Amino acid sequence: MTDRMMTLAAIEQLCLRALVAAGAREDNAAAVARSTMLAERDGIRSHGLLYVPIYAEHIRCGKVDGMARPVVSQPRPGAVVVDAATGFAHPAIDAGWSGFIAAARENGVAAMTVFNSYNCGVLGHHAERIAEAGLLGLCTTHAPASIAPPGGRVPVIGTNPFALGVPDDAGGAALILDQSASVVAKSEILLRSREGRPIEPGWAIDASGAPTTDPAAALKGSMLPAGGHKGFGAGLLVEILASCLSGAALSKDASPFSGTLGGPPKTGQCFIAFDPSAFSEGFAHRVSNLVEAIAAQDGARLPGGRRQAARRRTEREGVSVDAALIERIESPYR
Q: Where in the chain is the domain with CATH 3.30.1370.60?
A: 67-182+225-303
Please list the residues that pair with 182 across neighbouring strands.
225
| pLDDT tens-digit map of 136-188 | 999 999 999 999 998 888 999 999 999 999 999 999 999 999 999 988 877 78
Q: How many CA atoms lie within 13 A of 63 on its CB side?
A: 19
Task: Report the top-level CATH class of 67-182+225-303.
Answer: alpha beta
Residue 181 DSSP code: S
Nearest to 269 by CA among 101, 94, 102, 147: 94
Catalytic residue annotation: 46-47, 188
| pLDDT tens-digit map of 204-256 | 999 888 999 999 999 889 999 998 899 999 999 999 999 999 999 999 999 99
Please answer whether residues 115 and 227 qualify as being in contact, where contact means their C-beta atoms are separated by less than 8 angstroms: no
Instruction: Enter the pTM of the model.
Output: 0.93
* Domain covering 1-61+304-334, topology: Hypothetical Oxidoreductase Yiak; Chain: A, domain 1 (1.10.1530)
Q: How many CA atoms lie within 13 A of 43 on its CB side?
A: 13
SS3 letters for 261-298?
Answer: CCCCCCEEEEEEEECHHHCCCCHHHHHHHHHHHHHCCC
SS3 call for 148: coil
pLDDT at 1 over 60: no
Q: What is the pLDDT of residue 334?
A: 66
Q: How many CB atoms lie within 10 A of CB 211?
A: 14
Q: Where in the chain is the domain with CATH 1.10.1530.10?
A: 1-61+304-334
